[in-house]
């Protein structure tokens, strides 16, 4: 195989066990007007039928649900699309807000006390000046974490749960009623509560799992209203009692 002016590569079959189909490529060259041929390089190259290792795949792409074991750590990338920054702690109230700088903490405390005497009697660890701030609301909503689920993260979680415990599963199709009307359903917090809850029926296949409100199973709390057993009708023939049956003719009176 010519590589250029006075440069050629010869291919030799590799005889090493385990390198079936590989070839030694030996490149030789000759300088202009020289009669000597020099060896440039030798390299082992795969041929069209050679046995090769599969293409390397990063561990993060190879990971599958259920692969993690006790003690394993799974770092999340900084640019993970499933997450977005939570509330950073920068509390900048909007203009004209009750918690702007124009309102002193003392004045705010007096205002709150006057409006809600009952509230001020409460033994609350949160200072009055912090109530109603963006930070406290974010804390209450669970947003005061370094990162929270992004819209994309919510969507793929909902798709996953719907696939396992959704309306299209055979169990749901045969269920007497959906989870939304079941007494064993625990509601979720946040936006996903519109479509999902947690099943708390120990006899259900979905016990402890997030289920779609359209899912359902035979363990639905209202599925089997046991009918009261009907009262048996009185016997027409009394087969339990004994009838006296004389063996001879009745004795003549007198």
Which residues contact ligand SF4 by CB under 6 A?
179, 182, 184-185, 199, 201, 204, 206, 211, 215-217, 219-220
Q: Shortest approach of ligand SF4 to residue 179 CB, angstroms?
A: 3
Please measure the distance between the N-terminal and C-terminal CA atoms of the chain and give it in whole angstroms: 144
- Tokens for 9? 């590569």
CB 216 to ligand SF4: min, Å: 4
Instruction: Give the Cα separation of 103 and 94 in Å (integer).
Output: 13
CA atoms within 13 A on the CB side of 197: 18
Write down the least CB distance from residue 168 to ligand SF4, Å. 15
Q: Reduced to 3 states, what is the DSSP secondary structure of residue 152? A: helix
C-beta of 79: minimal distance to ligand SF4 in Å?
37
* Pick 106 or 164: Cβ nearer ligand SF4: 164
Cβ nearer to ligand SF4, comparing 83 with 212: 212
Residue 114, Ramachandran bin (φ over 0: left; ψ between -120 and 50: alpha; else beta)? alpha
Give me 225's structure tokens: 């209203």
Indicate the residue among 14 and 172 with the shorter CB distance to ligand SF4: 172
The distance between the two most distant Cα atoms of the chain, rounded to a whole number of Å, is: 164
In the complex with ligand SF4, which residue's Cβ is closer, 23 or 178?
A: 178
């Amino acid at each position: 195989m010519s590589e250029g002016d006075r440069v050629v590569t010869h291919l030799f079959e590799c005889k090493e066990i385990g390198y079936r189909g590989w070839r030694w490529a030996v490149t030789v060259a000759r300088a202009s007007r020289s009669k000597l041929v020099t060896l440039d390089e030798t390299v082992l190259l795969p041929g069209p039928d050679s046995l090769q290792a599969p293409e390397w795949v990063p561990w993060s792409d190879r990971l599958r649900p259920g692969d993690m074991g006790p003690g394993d750590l799974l770092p999340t990338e900084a640019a993970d699309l499933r997450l977005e920054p939570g509330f950073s702690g920068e509390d900048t109230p909007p203009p004209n807000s009750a918690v702007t700088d124009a309102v002193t903490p003392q004045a705010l405390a007096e205002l709150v006390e006057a409006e809600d005497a009952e509230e001020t009697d409460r033994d609350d660890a949160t200072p009055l000046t912090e109530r109603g701030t963006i930070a406290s609301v974010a804390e209450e909503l669970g947003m005061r974490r370094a990162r929270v689920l992004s819209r994309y993260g919510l969507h793929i979680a909902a798709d996953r749960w719907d696939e396992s415990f959704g309306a299209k599963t055979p169990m749901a199709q045969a269920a007497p009623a959906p989870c939304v009307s079941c007494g064993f359903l625990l509601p979720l917090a946040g936006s996903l509560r519109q479509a999902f809850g947690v099943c708390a029926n120990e006899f259900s296949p979905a016990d402890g799992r997030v289920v779609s409100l359209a899912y359902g199973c035979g363990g639905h709390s209202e599925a089997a209203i046991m009918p009261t057993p009907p009262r048996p009708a009185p016997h027409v023939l009394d087969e339990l009692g004994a009838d006296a049956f004389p063996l001879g003719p009745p004795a003549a009176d007198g």
